[in-house]
Structures are given as structure tokens and as C-alpha cells.
Amino acid sequence: MMNRRRFLAAASAAAAVAAPPRPVNVILIYCDDLGWGDLSCYGSPIATPHIDRLAREGARFTHCLSANPVCSPSRAALLTGRYPTRVGVPRVLFPVDKTGLAEGEQTIAQLLKAKGYQTMCVGKWHLGHLPPHLPTYKGFDHYYGIPYSNDMNPRWLMADEKVLEEQTDLDTLQEKYTKRAVEFIAGAKDKPFFLYMPHTYPHIPFGVGQAFRGKSKQGIYGDVLSELDWSVGQILAALEKHKLDRDTLVLFSSDNGPWYQGSPGMLRGRKGMTWEGGVRVPLLARLPGAVKPGLVCDGLVSTMDLLPTICALTGAALPARPLDGRDIRPLLAGRQREIDREPLLYFDGWYLQCARWGKWKLHLARYNNVTYSPAPAGGRKNIRLARPELYDVVTDRDESFDVAAENPQVVATILAAVEKLLAGFPVEVQKAYAEGKERPASTRPAGAVTQ
């Protein structure tokens, strides 16, 4: 017969087993134009010890793709888990634009808010600066930051929907962002929260606090990254202070590759290009108990995978519309090295230019000039390649050796999958793809800019 002491011990143990896990807080730090090779944990000479800590205590991904090589589309995809060509943001938005995410698209913030989370966005939004496209209409309780890029004017600093400064000081921007983020953590510590922190930097023009100016050995770009690393350190310190570090998923990534400065890590291409250097980005993740410490994952993932993964870890419902991202918890835990998925598509505007399937990358189309260079006579055009180019981007990091002729079955398999996928995309995508097939194809050598 069980005595009282044993009964109470058994009851206590059963309660402990039955008790629901503590809610998972989520912090998503998203840089602007940070290259795949810009962090010391990815081989950069710039010291980023606080960011490297995330890699040491969590997972580092070596093949993470953004959904687009430029700002607004990549952010739209990140927050919805869907390609930007599906959600109404195929290109960069400017202050003259009055559009944003398409009506009915659900963001990470909206999904977590429905789960009872406190939500805040601190930093660069760039998905529409007017109602109903501001963060406070997209699931965020509060917003603090500039609504578009720092090279666009007027350079408003906003709190929720109020303009605090017409032309904010770029040198104090990272400090302001960090202070507001730390304040949010302190005020939200007693309930689950989601902090989305899309930094303005290292997008040009650069600004850096006095404490960091001239301190790195890599010029002002290095100084900017040093302050960004300090900011991440302040976030981690706030989590420790409030005893939240073991209950918080911290994610760190970038919207696309580097612009004029910064390192793509020996990958070919930069921002605005669908070569790997324009689309492959760092991805770090830390959550004790769910993410294996020190894990280096070479499996193919996308920033679109963050929404379904966050929903799975928090218990939030998935959006009603089909997702392009996948739940990557098995990779985070180290249980699998890769996940089965359809090819990932590389869009620029409405144009599909490449597709990635495992280690294979198929190039289908290319512009007739290098991004951010003067347009050729007749204007910039997306031109279908005479024949697809295939690269093994695991062994051929800078996409130097076209091996399509040696792997016809791989080319055929990816092409068939691409055409099947495109049948479910908006008419603008399908029209652009069909027109590309009809135009005279580029006959330039493999790997060349088309003309």
C-alpha cells in the first residue's frame, strides 16, 4: 500500500511530467546587406564575438538562402514564409509607393499575437510606410524605427505611427534601436514575447557611434559591424538579466548579400544578383534544449523556413495560405542533416532566374548587365539562357564550372519541378517565364552576363 509520502511524491512527479513547457520567446535579428562572409564565425577578419556566441551555443547554417537578393521582397518572404512574388512585394519599395504586403497575408507577428504573445518591431521595416502597411497593422503591438532604407528620404524615426524625427541621426541609430529593444525585453519579461529587430546596417550610408568609430581594422564597415555585434551582446545580456536566456529562441540572419562593401565569403555575386553571393546569407539559431550547441548544418534551408519553425516551437497556428517554408526543427536538433524539399526558387522581380535543389543550382535566365552598373543601350532586360547552366555549389563555391552537359538528368529533374511549381504562382510570374521562353536566348558563353 502506498503511504502518504510516496503518494505525494508520485503526484508531484506526475504533475511535473504533465506540466506544460514554459512558453518560448522569440527574438529575430535581421541585418541589412550583411554578407555571408562578414562574421568571424563565417571566416571574416572582423571580430564579432557576441554573434559568434550564438553559433557556439547554437546552430550555424552554411547554406541558408534568402528568398530574394534585395530588401523589401526578402523581408516580405521572411515574415510570411512565402515567396515575395506571392505576397505582393516583388521589388524594393520606395517612399513614393503606397503599397505593401498583400491583404490577407499573415506575418509571424500576427500568428504569435493570436497565441497571446507581446510583439514589437525595432528597426527598418521597408514593407510600406503608410497605413495599413505599417508594423502596427501587421501584428506588432509597437514599432520603433525607420520605415524604409537609410538612403531614402525623408528618413523618419517613428514610434508606432508617430514620426519622432524627420531626419534621424544615422550615427546614433544602432544605439537607439538597442536601447528600445532592451526596454521591450524588460517590460515583456513576464509573458511570452516576439521581438523582431531588423537592423538598418550595414546598408549604406554608414553611421556609427563614437565609441566604435575607428576601432576596427576594417574601416567604417568594420566599425559598423562591431557596433552591431555589441548590440547583439546587449540583447543576450538582457535575456540573462531577466533569466530568459534558456526560454528564448534567438535567430540571426540577413536580408541578402553585401552591397559595395562587405564580403560574400568567396561566393560569386553581391546584392541584387542571383549568384550565391547575392542570396546566400548567414543563419544562426540558439535555444537551449531544442537547438544542438555547436552544430554546423550544411543542409539547404531558407529564411522562409523560420515562420513554420517558430510556429512549431511556440504552438502557434500556421497561416491559412500554403507555405513555401519548411519546419526545420530536425535540423536544429541535429537529428537530420537535410530535409526533403522542392527546389528553392531565385526570383528577381517577377523573373525566375535560378533554382536550387540540394547541392545543385540551375541558372535559367540572367540580366544583360551587372546590377547597379549603367544600363546597356535599349535598357536592362532579363534574358533566357540558350541552355540552362548547372553548378555544384558545394564543391564549386563561386559557380565557376558549368556541369550541365555531364548531368542531363539533374537538369531535366529540376526543370520539371520548376515548371510544376510555377503553375501555382501569380499570373505575372507565369507570364514572365513564358515570355522568356519565346525571346531570343542569350548565346554568350556559360557564366557570362547576357546581352
Alpha-carbon torsion angle 330, 334, 337, 340, nearest 10:
0
| Contact by Cβ (8 Å): 181, 223 | no
Query: Which member of 31, 71, 121, 297 is catalytic?
Result: 71
Residue 228's closest CA among 88, 69, 40? 40
**Can you tell me the distance from the alpha carbon of 380 to that of 70, in angstroms, rounded to the nearest whole number?**
17
- CA of 50: how far to CAs of 148, 192, 226, 232, 284, in Å? 27, 24, 10, 6, 12
Which set of grid coordinates corresponds to residue 379?
Answer: 535598357
**Can you tell me the distance from the alpha carbon of 256 to that of 357, in angstroms, rounded to the nearest whole number?**
19
E-strand stretches of 131-277: 142-145, 157-159, 162-165, 193-198, 248-254
| Contact by Cβ (8 Å): 39, 51 | yes
User: In sequence order, which ranges of 60-206 are alpha helices (DSSP H)?
Assistant: 71-80, 108-114, 173-188
Which 3 state secondary structure label does DSSP give 27?
strand
State which H helix or E strand residue 367 sits in: strand 360-367
| Contact by Cβ (8 Å): 305, 326 | yes
> Which residues, at least 6 apart from 230, have a Cβ–Cβ distance to it below 8 Å?
50, 178, 212
Query: Which member of 31, 50, 63, 126 is catalytic?
Result: 126
Question: What is the number of other CB atoms lying within 10 angstroms of the CB of residue 245?
Answer: 18
Residue 148's closest CA among 126, 168, 128, 164? 126
* Tally of helices (H runs) and strands (E runs) in the chain: 11, 15
Is 71 marked active-site? yes
Is 126 marked active-site? yes
* Phi/psi at 31 (5° precision): -85, 165
CA angle 93–94–96, rounded 5-degree value: 125
The residues assigned a catalytic role are: 71, 126
